[in-house]
Amino acid sequence: MKIPKTYTQFGQIIHIKIDSEYLAKEDCNGLAEPDKNLITLADENEEHKLDKEEIERNLIHEMFHIALAKAGYSGAFSDEKFAHTMGNLLYEALKSGKIIR
């Protein structure tokens, strides 16, 4: 999958940027900021350069956070375990169905 610069969700344009340096300060590989309509992804961290699958999984995870927030599920928005599980399940379905390659 090519990481897009934007996508639309709930009629709003969500921007995606790569900023590993910023996320190193946050100690994460992805960050969803629904109030800014922004997802920030890392392509490397202190340990290693992230491979294509790691970046794709992180993107789906953060998209899930944005969807929860935009749909009004503010409590679920910050539930990392839920977002991680659902993001991974969605990624698996998209990958196995060859929707993303």
Residue 85 lies in a domain: yes
Q: Give the structural domain span for 43.
A: 6-96
Given the structure tokens 């969700």, which residue do they identify? 9
Residue 11 lies in a domain: yes
Q: How would you write the pLDDT of the chain (101 residues) with one tens digit per residue?
A: 889 999 999 999 999 999 999 999 888 999 999 999 999 999 998 888 999 999 999 999 999 999 999 999 988 888 899 999 999 999 999 999 988 88
Residue 72 lies in a domain: yes
Number of domains, the chain: 1
Q: What is the pTM of this model?
A: 0.90
How confident is the model at residue 100, as a pLDDT? 84
Determine contact, residues 38/17, Cβ cutoff 8 Å. Answer: yes
Residue 65 lies in a domain: yes
Residue 1 lies in a domain: no
Residue 101 lies in a domain: no
Determine contact, residues 62/15, Cβ cutoff 8 Å. Answer: no
Burial class (CB in 10 A: 0-12, 13-18, 19+), 25: exposed
